[in-house]
Structure 1
């Protein structure tokens, strides 16, 4: 007589667990309602949001599309000194003629702009300056980038949908949700002087609750990733506030920061630095938490007899590899965004210590480190949630001495 033991691999989401699903749904519902209430309480009144006048929208000033018709270089005596004896690029200037509707626009490019390149046929934007009773004068404003950027976005969206299908489409919808929350709630609240860290945490939580379920579906697995993400967000917010205060990051590192301080007098620039640490880490944090939750579920499907401790240990081996690659992602992303500043300080031949501790680079260093700490802590936390919420392993008895296998 022969005996055989057959153990079918359960689906990755495991058998239906209605009681647990309802309990987790109630918890997520409470979190979502609390987030909405917090957003409502923090939502700034329209009169509290500063509205500065566009410097290029003054009376008699307008932006006009144009096409370059001719470019002629000439010696303008550029000696490398700008206003207040600041360093500027030396070299020739260029006289440019462009067709702006029914008018012909003529303007001069300084050596820096001219060296960057402009040729006949380029589509540009020019400023038409026409005070009352005076003839119009023209200035170069920028290149037209609408069509190239729209085309790149279209290619991106198409590839995401073709490769990821419905999940890709929902992920793109999640990007839309993110932009809506940032532009309609987070940015106005920060400008109005509302507690920056609280605004960033609440706004980020709202984004993650919607985006995670939208992109990955409503399931216990997604809920475990959400729990890990929310805990990671909270830790990142606390670390961001501490790092900003301890490092004396004021948020005033460039001319743009000074302009913002003048326009939004109620805004807490130091708090905005801490808030940026929370928002900047959202993408990588979401990445590691979803990956860890998925890893736990897939390993449970492949190892139905593994204990929770074994499941946790296996998932953490994947998590450690993911931590290493994600830390590099953060570092390279911030290095790329601050490349101009890094090149400038390198040209000044400053020491690494001077560079790393300056306001501009120091804020990026702190943002990278805080984001990295947040994601490192999120890996074991998410793995723990996923291990607890994953389907239970099958209890398979060890074969007895008289058991015969076929």
Structure 2
């Protein structure tokens, strides 16, 4: 039994003990997310429009991680709508960043590793880079959306007389508390994955201005920035959507 199987077994045991049925479902949801991503990539490889597959992928990932884990209720519906709406709002910024930053295609470092293979893989690399950034953005947005909608929902259950404005303000307060933490999570996750390469750059005596202008470094920084922007935008959208759906339910 190798290290991967041992770690997965430990993860399954801990999630089962601490999360019960929800923990078990969460564990298998990890594999379901991978299957969805794998099938999406297969469709892209076989010529499916990348933008359409990107939209379908976003819908499926949001639905699986919200409805499958937390059920279909007002807080998950609000988080789902907020996640998709935020992702759609970010499309223009992502498209602009990829084009102006010339982020598409392989970096020189990746080309050094794959120079013996053909780089003509038959995929629009600009569109595929946009899909890659959206993949990172929607994961952070989904997590933030449910984190905001859940306490607002519980607050409404505790005090159903609260108005939409009061619920919205409460959601914004929760969002402000976790904004810095969520942004740091994105920053550490992406930068940590490239830490070895950064050490390599320093060992090669790269100047700071050269490092900042490398394509690989630019991809990471722009992805981090876009993820942070998406999180900031998602906070008021989720708070407003949750407050609106909850007060509308009261009126009905």
* TM-score, normalized by the shorter chain, greater than 0.5: yes
Is the CA contact 2:94–2:226 (under 8 Å) kept in the aligned structure 1? yes
Give the superposition deviation at 1:195: 3.7
In the alignment, which residue of structure 2 is the partner of 1:153?
8
Q: Tell me how many residue pairs correspond in the alignment.
A: 249
Q: Distance in 2 between matches of 1:152 and 1:271?
A: 35
Unaligned runs of 5+ in 2: none
Match of 2:183 among 320, 324, 327: 327
| 2:76 is aligned with 1:222 | yes
Aligned CA RMSD, in angstroms, stands at 2.4
Could you say which structure has the higher strand fraction?
A: 1
Deviations 1:207-254 (A, max 9, x none): 211231110111122111110111122233332222100111132201
Query: So what's the TM-score if we normalise by structure 1?
Result: 0.57
Change (3 A) 1:217 1:393: closer
Give the superposition deviation at 1:393: 9.9
| 2:136 is aligned with 1:292 | no
Instruction: Give the 5 Å matches for 1:3-402.
Output: 147-184=2-39, 186-253=40-107, 254-255=110-111, 262=118, 265-391=121-247
Deviations 1:364-390 (A, max 9, x none): 111111121112111111111100011
Q: Distance in 1 between matches of 2:153 and 2:197?
A: 44
Deviations 1:128-185 (A, max 9, x none): xxxxxxxxxxxxxxxxxx621011011111111211112112222322221111112x
Q: Which has the larger radius of gyration?
A: 1
Could you say which structure has the higher helix fraction?
A: 2
Is the CA contact 1:306–1:393 (under 8 Å) kept in the aligned structure 2? no
Is the CA contact 1:212–1:226 (under 8 Å) kept in the aligned structure 2? yes
Give the superposition deviation at 1:268: 1.9
Query: So what's the TM-score if we normalise by structure 2?
Result: 0.89
Give the superposition deviation at 1:189: 3.0
Is the CA contact 1:196–1:275 (under 8 Å) kept in the aligned structure 2? yes
Unaligned runs of 5+ in 1: 1-145, 396-406
Structure with larger RCO (C-alpha < 8 A, sep 6+): 2
Change (3 A) 1:362 1:296: same
